[in-house]
Chains A and B, each alone.
Chain A
Amino acid sequence: MKYPKLRELKEAVRSLFSRPYTNDFPRQPHKPFERFRGKAQFSQEQCIGCTACVQVCPARALEFQDEVANGKGKRTLTIRWDICIFCGQCQANCPTEKGITLGNEFELSKTEERNTMRQKIEKELVLCECCSEIIAPKDQILWVARKIGPLVFSNVSLMLFYLANLGLSGTGHLQDKQEGELKRADRIKVLCPRCRREAVLKS
């Protein structure tokens, strides 16, 4: 009977001289740990627009949209923080590992409109020179070319695009494009897989 009273007294005296356990949160900001999974953000430079993150997102917080107009393609990638569950699946599956990263920011609640809680980035798409079909984002093709090194010369489209990007060859034979017919010369063009098959097999 005496022992608990003594212990309580000890605690009471100790508590009297110690500071409160809680901290003064809004005025004294909380610093999350280094590996905290916070707000996910795209990096315009590192992202290659491959949409791997869109495929793996369990909450479907990521989406992409392709637009083709006037012979130019544009891919828009969007992350919605109001849907995001901060699981880190996108970062873990990003081929460049830095295209989308989870930062330390956690104070995301806002009173603004819901559609402001998102980030969009745009990526330029490479189109087939014959049928204007989407092949891939420009950054993704260059990333693949850099990654596979000399093997880039095993694929005509990849090689042509890579060389053109280095300034070693010209691009765009779009002026002599003929509808519905692929010529033998069309093989030396940046083509989508379907056009390439037709150009090789039928011409």
Chain B
Amino acid sequence: MSHKVIVPIGPYHPLQEEPEFFQLYVDGEKVVDIDIIIGYNHRGIEKLAESKHYDQVPYLVERICGICSSSHPYAYVLSVEDLLGGESKVVPERALYIRTVIDELQRIHSHLLWLGLVGHFIGYNTVWMWAWKNREPVLDMFEMVTGNRNNYAMFKVGGVRRDIKDEDIPVLKKTLDEFTPAIDLFLGAIKDDPVIRGRLKGVGRLTRQQAIDWCVVGPTARASGIDIDIRRDEPYGAITRLDWNVIIEKEGDILAKTTARILELYECVRIIRQCLDKMPKGEIDSDVKDIPAGEGIGRVEAPRGECIHFVKSDGTNRPQRLKIRAPSFTNVASNKVGAVGGTISDAALTLAAVDPCYCCTERLAVIDKSTNKKIMNGWDLVRLCQEKTMQIKEGRL
């Protein structure tokens, strides 16, 4: 006697970056199908950008997302600089290094936030607290350099707005030195802890072929063995002058996604350290006056994947059209294969593993299809997820 249950997740929450609405079709414990509906929180940012000056748009687009609030302005300024002949022609050398530092610092704090939330979902609240505790010095570095923990207001067409001062560099380096043992700790926990391994291994698996079929980007794709990274494929900033690696994992499950992100943290630290060492003296802004007519594209490897901005200019001081494609847009669709076939206690984890904003999973309700009665809410699903971890723990002990 099996009855189908529909589990709606979403649709929106004011804190979300991209509101999603998931409807899980559940047969007993198993997820048999999932519907993904997006487009709930239309803020009209693309239209709003058409009413702002080229110099004001970065402030608008960095508020698309509080977590990747340097990726969006970066992609935007790259697309405008594409009209002017390319980033390397317009932007002074020192500004390129500063841009890379900010971009990589942001990747560190975004990955740590993700790690903490995965820890929370599997019931390891210690991982959550520790990841966020170590994220705090990174945010402090942001506050020191840019003047704010979020919404950095650093990017502008033709350069950056604020310089990294010489007296800040030793502080930054010291924080990075103190941060490296924390990454060792997380990597150790993922590698050694049998419960975390048991909980994450084989869950929400996305094979290489599936990843290609569903066009996933960023760490989600790299965890499935696809070798893509915009930083290497279409370099921007000072990244070509530095020594670093693209992290690729083969498995495609949540363990691989977690390992890929943690290993990426090492690369971020390496990149920032090299930037701070090699940073030349000089101007940080080339004072761009006119934007010629034409079309430009900017691509940036955001923490979640490839972020694309397209700008059409008609030669005035405002963009005629701005089109944005955020990475989660493509990644979220892959849940269609990632979550189906798994159990309902893995669902919250799988949906979270592609790194959308998690607030969505906090707003879900399980409704019995036959009676139309609410039987579970978002917290229940997270609790289910955490209980499974407890069971694994007790079973092994």
Contact = CB atoms under 8 A, between A and B. Distances in A.
Interface stretch (A81-89, A133-141, A143-151, A188-196): A81-89
A21 B192 CA distance: 26
A27 interface: no
A37 B144 CA distance: 10
A88 B154 CA distance: 10
Nearest to B129: A21
Nearest to A4: B192
A36 interface: yes
A4 B161 contact: no
Centre residue among A36, A85, A86, A87 by max chain B CB count within 10 A: A87
A36 B59 contact: no
A97 to B, nearest CB: 14
B161 A35 contact: no
Contacts of A35: 144-147, 162
A59 B63 CA distance: 12
Centre residue among A7, A36, A58, A92 by max chain B CB count within 10 A: A58
B188 A37 contact: no
B60 interface: yes
A92 B161 contact: yes
Given A58-B52, A85-B151, A87-B153, A36 B188 contact: no
A7 B52 contact: no
B194 interface: yes
A56 B162 contact: no
A58 B143 CA distance: 21
- A contact face: mostly helix, strand, loop, or mixed: loop
A21 B143 CA distance: 19
Contacts of A58: 52, 56, 59-60
Interface in A74-112: 85-89, 92, 102
Is the interface on chain A under 10, 10 to 19, 20 to 34, or 35 or more residues? Answer: 20 to 34
Contacts of B53: 56
B153 A37 contact: yes
Contacts of B151: 85-87
Interface residues of B, number: 24
B290 interface: no
B148 interface: yes
Given A35-B147, A58-B60, A88 B188 contact: no
Nearest to A55: B53
Given A21-B133, A56-B56, A58-B59, A36 B192 contact: no
A92 B59 CA distance: 14
B193 interface: yes
A3 B189 CA distance: 10
A17 interface: no
B56 A86 contact: no
A92 B161 CA distance: 9
A71 interface: no
Nearest to A38: B147
A128 B33 CA distance: 75
B52 A36 contact: no
Nearest to A57: B56
A1 interface: yes
Contact of A3 (B55, B59, B192): B192
Given A3-B192, A4-B189, A37 B147 contact: yes
Contacts of A88: 147, 153, 161
B194 A89 contact: no
A86 B148 contact: yes
A33 interface: yes
A97 B146 CA distance: 18
Contacts of A1: 194
A170 interface: no
B379 to A, nearest CB: 24
Contacts of B60: 58
A36 B143 contact: yes
Interface in B141-173: 143-148, 151, 153, 161-162
B102 to A, nearest CB: 14
A71 to B, nearest CB: 36
B188 A4 contact: yes
Nearest to A2: B192
Nearest to B142: A33
A11 B215 CA distance: 42
A33 B145 CA distance: 9
A50 B194 CA distance: 66
B89 to A, nearest CB: 24
A166 B103 CA distance: 53
Nearest to A32: B143
Contacts of B56: 56, 58, 89
Contacts of B145: 35
Interface in A34-58: 35-37, 56, 58
B148 A37 contact: yes
Nearest to A106: B148
15 contacts: A1-B194, A4-B193, A33-B140, A33-B147, A35-B146, A36-B147, A37-B148, A58-B52, A86-B148, A87-B151, A87-B153, A88-B153, A88-B161, A89-B56, A89-B59
Given A3-B192, A4-B188, A59-B59, 7 more contacts: A4-B193, A33-B147, A56-B53, A87-B151, A87-B153, A88-B147, A89-B153
Interface of B: 52-53, 55-56, 59-60, 63, 133, 140, 143-148, 151, 153, 161-162, 188-189, 192-194
